[in-house]
Amino acid sequence: MDPTEFSDIQKTAKDLLRMTFRSHSKLLMTGAAGGLGQAMRPRLQQNCDVLRLSDISPMAAAQTGEEVVPADLSDFEAVKALVAGCEAIVHFGGVSTEQAWAPILQANIIGAYNLYEAARLHGVKRVIFASSNHVMGFYRQSDVVDALSPPRPDGFYGLSKAFGEDISRLYFDRYGIETACVRIGSSFPEPRDRRMLATWLSYDDLHRLITACLTTPVLGHSIIYGTSDNSVSWYDNHLAKHIGYRPLDSSDVFREAVYARTPEPDLTDPAVLYQGGGFVKIGPL
Ligand code: NAI
Ligand code: 15L
């Protein structure tokens, strides 16, 4: 047998060993109309009997094993009704880019409070929170950060994700609600530029990561960087070994093509120097 073929079989076998299973009866996923919500929708159906999907924007109609429940995260009564009956939450909903303070306050800060308060009232015990690399955006691309590195948000958006991480810690310490704060790098079909060679997270690895967070016996309050197995990386996940996430994809296969289509980096440009890339220059700050 050709050695490449053998290694492919080994990879598939390893993947099967970590196979997703229906660990939850009802899972809630917010942000279902967004990029990651749409990518995870078919995948997360493997993790539960019923997947409840929510967003403020229009969503595709419910299929078998799904419930579609529109809600504005900034509306407490709506969020309370949304969370009722769910065992765990995958929280993608909210503003996902640097913007003015007002929408970020409503969706990401008031929205995070509403979600955790609803989780407390309904006895939800586990949340996977889509945090962001922009919590750490003002570290340099020559720094390596881990779960204990102090946050250095690169804007209001990163700051709101730092708030989400903090409120999740409060609800863990007071009420025992476990959360994985997943500092997602760049989760798109392919890395779009040289920076994303370090931050890229494939959709399949994101699903593996969420599955690991949902199924690890004791999650606690954990911070984990969400990237694939990229050779160049600014993130050290040694404090998240208990989650058992093992990425199987890598941005390395895109490196040559990305270098060919992108210019030499200007090392005086803050977007090149800092981990947050272009986010460090956007907005009124
Ligand atoms: P997205 O912008 O495509 O999706 C976010 C969804 O949240 C949208 O469908 C939007 O309608 C919904 N939303 C916004 N405000 C809302 C509100 N007040 N109430 C209810 N729903 C509301 O973003 P994407 O890329 O799918 O990201 C999902 C999550 O992951 C976001 O929280 C984002 O911050 C986080 N993330 C994503 C990364 C990525 O590379 N895609 C990287 C780092 C973090
Ligand atoms: C994020 O937090 C954003 O949600 C996403 O759209 C990307 O911009 C990503 O970070 C990134 O840093 O590439």
Domain count, the chain: 1
The per-residue pLDDT for range 244-271, each reduced to its tens digit, is 999 999 999 999 999 999 999 999 999 9
Q: Give the pLDDT score at 17.
A: 47
On the CB side of 88, how many CA atoms lie within 13 Å of its CA?
Answer: 22
Q: Give the pLDDT score at 7.
A: 59
CATH number at residue 137: 3.40.50.720
Q: Considering the domain boundaries, does residue 9 fall inside one?
A: no
Q: Which residue has the higher pLDDT, 152 or 285?
A: 152
Q: CB within 6 Å of ligand 2 — which residues?
A: 96-97, 132-134, 186, 199, 277
- For ligand 1, the distance from its centroid to the CA atom of residue 12, given in whole angstroms, is 31
Q: How does residue 20 score in pLDDT terms, banded at 50, 70 and 90? A: confident
Q: How does residue 5 score in pLDDT terms, banded at 50, 70 and 90? A: low
Q: Considering the domain boundaries, does residue 1 fall inside one?
A: no
| Closest residue CA from atom 29 of ligand 1 | 92
Q: How does residue 22 score in pLDDT terms, banded at 50, 70 and 90? A: confident
pLDDT of residue 278 exceeding 90, the answer is yes
Q: Considering the domain boundaries, does residue 101 fall inside one?
A: yes
Q: What is the mean pLDDT of the chain?
A: 94
- For ligand 1, the distance from its centroid to the CA atom of residue 30, given in whole angstroms, is 9
Q: Considering the domain boundaries, does residue 214 fall inside one?
A: yes
Comparing 13-27, 120-134, 206-220, 221-235, which segment has the lowest mean pLDDT? 13-27
**C-alpha–C-alpha distance, residues 242 and 147, integer Å:** 13
pTM for this entry = 0.95
Q: CB within 6 Å of ligand 1 — which residues?
A: 31, 33-37, 55-57, 72-74, 92-96, 106-107, 111, 130, 132, 184, 186-187
Q: Considering the domain boundaries, does residue 265 fall inside one?
A: yes
Q: Considering the domain boundaries, does residue 237 fall inside one?
A: yes
Neighbours of 3 (CB within 10 A): 7
| Closest residue CA from atom 7 of ligand 2 | 186
Q: Domain of 134?
A: 18-281
Indicate which ligand has the atom closest to the C-alpha of 198. 2
Atom index in ligand 1 nearest the CA of residue 55 equals 21
Q: Considering the domain boundaries, does residue 4 fall inside one?
A: no
Average pLDDT over residues 49-69: 98
- For ligand 1, the distance from its centroid to the CA atom of residue 174, given in whole angstroms, is 27
Average pLDDT over residues 34-50: 97
Mutation test residue for ligand 1: of 28, 29, 36, the one with most atoms within 8 Å of CB: 36
- Percentage of the chain exceeding pLDDT 90: 91
Q: Considering the domain boundaries, does residue 127 fall inside one?
A: yes
Long-range contacts of 144-150 (CB under 8 A, 24+ apart): 144/233, 144/234, 144/235, 144/236, 145/225, 145/234, 145/235, 145/236, 145/275, 146/235, 146/236, 146/237, 146/238, 146/239, 147/222, 147/223, 147/224, 147/237, 147/239, 147/240, 148/239
Q: Which residue has the higher pLDDT, 8 or 182?
A: 182
| Closest residue CA from atom 11 of ligand 2 | 186
Phi, psi of 55 (to 5 degrees): -170, 170
Mutation test residue for ligand 2: of 95, 98, 133, the one with most atoms within 8 Å of CB: 133
- Percentage of the chain exceeding pLDDT 70: 93
Catalytic residue set: 157
**C-alpha–C-alpha distance, residues 269 and 262, integer Å:** 15
pLDDT of residue 80 exceeding 60, the answer is yes
Indicate which ligand has the atom closest to the C-alpha of 193. 2
Q: Give the pLDDT score at 16.
A: 47
Q: Give the pLDDT score at 59.
A: 98
Atom index in ligand 2 nearest the CA of residue 158 equals 2
